[in-house]
Amino acid sequence: MKPHTLDALFATLEARKGADPSESYTAKLLADRNKIAKKLGEEGVEAAIEIVRGDADKLVSESADVLYHLLVAWVALGVKPDQVWQALEGRTGRSGIEEKKSRKGE
């Protein structure tokens, strides 16, 4: 089966560990966790701006930036995509409103 786009991207990014930072933007980010956090925050804000503007095309591009930087963060901290997929699957069928009520003991 063809790997999901995000799984394939993750494999590419993981292979960049130890690459030359002058040749790989991913390797440059992996050398500095603070930089990953900063870029992910910036890209999230840029996506939020396009949501407010209502520009779906730009949101597509900003979403790709957010996902790329999030996956770099997973590589940096040793998180595997399957862990996130499982966390999402564990929430399947449970409404966010119901989940929030159970956390607040309502």
Nearer to ligand PRT, 68 or 74 (CB): 68
For residue 30, what are the contacts with CB-CB under 8 A and spacing of at least 6? 16, 17, 36, 72, 75, 76
User: Whole-number minimum distance, CB 55 to ligand PRT, in Å?
Assistant: 16
Binding letters toward ligand PRT, positions 7-26, x by CB under 6 A: --x--xx--x-------xxx
Instruction: Name the residue type at position 98.
Output: E
How far apart, in whole angstroms, are the C-alpha atoms of residue 10 and residue 75? 8
How many residues form the binding site for ligand PRT (CB under 6 A)?
Answer: 10
User: Whole-number minimum distance, CB 64 to ligand PRT, in Å?
Assistant: 6
Pick one of 40, 47, 68, 76: the residue that binds ligand PRT (CB under 6 A): 68
C-alpha angle 97-103-106 in degrees, rounded to nearest 5? 75
- The CB density around residue 75, as the number of other CB atoms within 10 Å, is 21
Q: What residue ranges bind ligand PRT (CB under 6 A)?
A: 9, 12-13, 16, 24-27, 65, 68
